[in-house]
Structure 1
């Protein structure tokens, strides 16, 4: 029974880590949208209208409660007079 429990803990931890990383990415992305929006002096309503979404949708995105699609990110970038830059970077420990 102990071996089964160990395997359950390991599987649960992996699922937890994946969910944590997704939530972290959503929060970081939302913060970037918020920071740019406030830097250009737009309200949530103004940005939402420019990006073709509702203010509650934008609020949810900024708070990390929603993960936008790439087309929505492109609309947000255009509405924020910004360039959308999506990159893949190797992990720090993979440099060896």
Structure 2
């Protein structure tokens, strides 16, 4: 009989592959960026439709982005920032501090 492994062990084994790690990191970035825009849109009570109008996008594209479904370009992030009355800040942090 084979030994059972926990979810964390299975996940760690799967992420040992460089390709899987790269895909996981890309998904994490998409999710974090989408969450950041959604939180900043929600704070003043702005709808996805209003944000879409302010950025020249369609509402489904905003929804997809906020759900982590697309990897944005820097110009798109700048459009979101301007529409939200903010300034885009891009930076680097040490890996030991990264979430």
TM over 0.5: yes
Aligned to 2:81: 77
> Alignment partner for residue 71 of structure 2, among 67, 74, 95?
67
Structure 1 runs (4+) greater than 6 angstroms displaced: none
Gap runs ≥5 in structure 1: 1-8
Distance 1:81 1:74 in 2: 10
Gap runs ≥5 in structure 2: 1-12
**Helix, strand or coil: the match of 2:34?**
helix
Distance 1:13 1:77 in 2: 35
**RMSD of aligned residue pairs (Cα, Å):** 1.8
> Alignment partner for residue 44 of structure 1, among 44, 48, 52?
48
Distance 2:18 2:79 in 1: 34
Number of paired residues? 84
Distance 1:66 1:77 in 2: 17
